[in-house]
Amino acid sequence: MIKTLRFAASVLTLAAATVGVAHAQGPQAPPQKPHVFTAKDMASLDRLSDPRVSPDGRFVLYSVRTMNYPANKASMSLWVADLKTKMAPRRLKISDGGASSGRWSADGKTIYFSSSRAGGTEQVFKTDVVGETATQVTSAPFDVLAYKVAPDGKSIIVGQAVFPDCPDLACTEARLAAKTATKATGVVYDKLFVRHWDTWNDGTKNHLFAWSLDANGVAAGQPVDLMKGFDGDTPTKPYGGDDDFTVSFDSKTVVFSAKVAGKDEPWTTNYDMWGVRLDGSAKPVNYTADNKAWDTTGVASPDGKLIAYRAMKRPGFEADRFAIMIYDETTQKVRELAPTWDRSADAIAWSRDGKTIYATALDVGQGRLFAIDVKTAKVTALTGDGHVTAFDVGANGIVYASDSLKSPSELFLLPAKKGPPIRVASVSDEALKDVAWGEPEQFSFKGWNDETVHGFVLKPANFDPAKTYPVAFLIHGGPQGSFGNSWSYRWNPQVYANAGYAVVMVDFHGSTGYGQAFTDAISQHWGDRPLEDLQKGWAFATQKYGFLDADRACALGASYGGYMVNWIAGNWSQPWKCLVTHDGVFDTRAMGYATEELWFTEWENGGTPWQAGTTYDKFNPVDHVAQWTKPQLIVQGQLDYRIPVEQGLGAFTALQRKGVASKFLYFPNENHWVLKAQNSVQWHKEVLDWLDQWTGNNRPGK
């Protein structure tokens, strides 16, 4: 899936010295909040994530990412909040050397964590609840990519990048050393992937290894390669983690998700659930061989008899609904839980008594936490507005992280006994106390096929009802994604609201959280159904909200949103004063030959680029360049192998050759996303300057 989010702004070309045009008469402007929330503020915020409740339910352990903006570098720390005494959370001292991925031991006496404090490679360490001193647990020759400690505390399972045909870690070490020593730089490939996401294939695969822990809890002896000879990756690439594998409660079996690479890795989505004995005495067994689509995220029930996992049903489609499946270890039978629940499950977990499965899912612009009764399949929403990003089940309730359009992620406790959520921790209160937020409002209208389509409008910060404002019309990516009630560190509507823009976002057909049929509607229809939704949504919003200045508007988007901006440039450019395309598809046919995850382009276009009856040419922006007239900023990352750099260069070349006002913002060290703090600030400056130039906006704080 093309995963980056998108923006689009609408604004009128006026050289006015004010943000908007004041009405002759109207209500008095509200008091102004003093601080303008900028891209630098956003990039500098601490970030809270990964809550983990102690086995007794008293404490929650979580990670905090802190940015050193001048150094352009982030550090990770671990914090603990006491859910019983409700004392202020405290930072563990062991964080001084960097600490992340904190995990509790089964008895709650030990905290394990990842750190690169010893020798520069990422290894596993441990401490106690006080967190004053650290003991190194693993001394692996390569980075530990993810880890889990067996429930009995006698083994640790770690992910390592190795050559799959190597018999041991020493073989991989020697082979890597030989590659470094040679002065020849040529690399020969005989199959895809040649490159994936932002890295070139070096021949290694991520494998799981089991180390025995000695009496002191330190990894000892030689590890067992649980995937010996396996041509596949766990953790999965590019962004897999410890949710890709689980250890049974009897500490005898590891269940992991992986795809056999073979020759068809780039065009198949056939990930399976595999089981392997922790002692490595037998090869992995495929539990889900009958399903040729995506199976992932296995979680064992408290009694060890059942495994819940998520599964898609259509091979080759990465945005199919993730159903929740339950595998019975005794009968070896599988059943789907709540098959009529028309939402796609994200993270899943068992209740302590095994009677409920908790799951997160997008739901009509929100990201909610749900409880599903294992026996009756009754589905109950546990959270309301906002976006639950992570959760963990404790003895006294569920601790979850949630954000929204007006707040970065914060921690909440949902008590086991009925009661409202209790805020446990926040890391941004002080930094954001004087910020004026743009107020969001959800709306709906009749879109393609006369079906209901939802969207959000965000008022500018320090909104004055007596004024009209330029508009940022945001077009999300995916395309199976959503611009909902959530916080983003890349495309954050509040940055635009604080720059004097109103924001409009439409979850067009293809968006997630509105049922699978709604999501399916975009495949092979990239240029018609979603465009109709965007056009009707824009017309509805500008009619309903009088503060939107429809004559001062720019459209922005990235990835699929960037594709749509390129498509709009030749098919619906009339409303816009300017356009911004970030890592957007310019030539769909060339994209089908140059991108890495071929299953995506082949599903979305109905086949390979050389087959008849596909949509590569039907909705190809490159064929409408003759109609391009609006000023356009093109942004591209060199390390973007999802939408390669030639797509951005091609669009910029077309604009320059036609004499259309245009700029090209190029990042040699960014991938599909702009992740580095100072690059992010530069990105926002260039984009906002571009909008201001063509809309006449006098940006606050500029």
Whether 29 contacts 464, CB under 8 Å: yes
Active site residue 559: yes
CA distance 465 to 468: 8
Position 182 scores a pLDDT of 95
In contact, 428 and 65? CB cutoff 8 Å: no
Residue with the two structure tokens 């050397």: 97
SS3 of 614-658:
CCCCCCCHHHHHHHCCCCEEEEEECCCCCCCHHHHHHHHHHHHHH
Side chain identity at 87, as an amino acid letter?
Answer: M
Residue 255 and residue 300 in contact, taking contact as beta carbons nearer than 8 Å: yes
| Residue in 295, 672, 684, 692 annotated catalytic | 672
> What is the rounded distance in angstroms from the CA atom of residue 610 to the CA atom of residue 42?
44
- DSSP, collapsed to helix, strand or coil, labels residue 197 as coil
* 603 neighbors 158 (Cβ within 8 angstroms): no
**Considering 404, 428, 559, 680, which one is annotated as catalytic?**
559
Write the pLDDT tens digit of every residue in 54-106. 999 999 999 999 999 999 999 999 999 999 987 899 999 999 999 999 999 99
Predicted TM-score (pTM) of the model is 0.94
Asked if residue 479 has a cis previous peptide bond (ω within 30° of 0), the answer is yes
Q: How many CB atoms lie within 10 A of CB 132?
A: 9
Cis peptide before 193 (omega within 30 of 0): yes
Please give the DSSP secondary-structure letter assigned to residue 145. -
* Chain segment 327-386, per-residue pLDDT in tens: 998 998 999 999 999 999 999 999 999 999 999 999 999 999 999 999 999 999 999 999
- What tokens does 62 get? 């979580």
Q: Catalytic: 196?
A: no
Residue with tokens 């590659």: 179
Query: Beta strand pairing status for 245-247 and 199-200?
Result: unpaired
Residues of the chain falling short of pLDDT 70: 1-31
- Active-site pick, 428, 640, 662, 684: 640
Q: Which helix (H) or strand (E) holds 233?
A: none
Closest CA to 470 of 6, 7, 39, 13: 13
H-helix or E-strand spanning residue 218? none
Q: Which domains does the chain have, with CATH numbers?
A: 10-19+35-40+432-695 (3.40.50.1820)
The pLDDT, as a whole number, for residue 32 is 72
The predicted structure's pLDDT at residue 494: 98
Q: Is 49 a catalytic site residue?
A: no
pLDDT of 700 reads 81
Q: Which residues make beta-bridge pairs with 313? A: none
Query: Residue 614 has which token pair?
Result: 């596909």
